[in-house]
Amino acid sequence: MATQVITGQFGIETGRRDQDRSADRFRERNLSLLAAQQRARRGPTPEVLFTKKIDNSRLVKAADPQRAREMRSFAAAMALFLGLLLIYGWQHFSAIEYGYHIEAEKQQLRQLQEVNRGLQLTEAQLNSPARIDQLANSLGLQAPQPGQVVYPDGSTMLTGNPNAPVLAEATPPVIH
């Protein structure tokens, strides 16, 4: 029995060696064919690629009314979508532009209010009775005596009280 086992194992090893030898022979043959092909390619003529021209000018495209209808409806939907997108963009950028315009106007309003406030302060200082009295005294002017003040209607103030009530009259101006 031991001899059968040894013989069986020996046969397996012998089969493997034969397979390895045949694989080596195929490998060598493939390498030699590859080398021959490479030598043939390196010959005096370069490789040339030929193109075949196909003439499709005689082909006629068949009209497909359903596909044409689908394409028209798709184009209309895309045009509508693009129009809405453009309108939205126009409104959005207009709102931003108007916002900048409003802010500029508010800034100008604040500036004008500051100028107005300064002018009111200047007017109040210039109309100050104490300042006017001081200027009049520096110019040598004095308070008017009773009867010196003449009003546009030609009347004079004969009463000594400047705060006395005066009766308002509507008389047209007289032109001489």
Q: What phi and psi, each to the nearest 5 degrees, are found at residue 156?
A: -120, 155
The tally of CA atoms less than 13 A away on the side-chain side of residue 120 is 6
Q: Where are the domains of the chain?
A: 1-41
From first to last of its 176 residues, the chain has per-residue pLDDT tens of 455 455 555 445 566 777 888 889 989 999 998 888 877 766 666 666 778 888 888 888 888 999 999 999 999 999 999 999 999 999 999 999 999 999 999 999 999 999 999 999 999 999 998 998 898 889 988 887 777 777 776 665 555 555 666 666 666 667 76
Name residue 46's amino acid: P
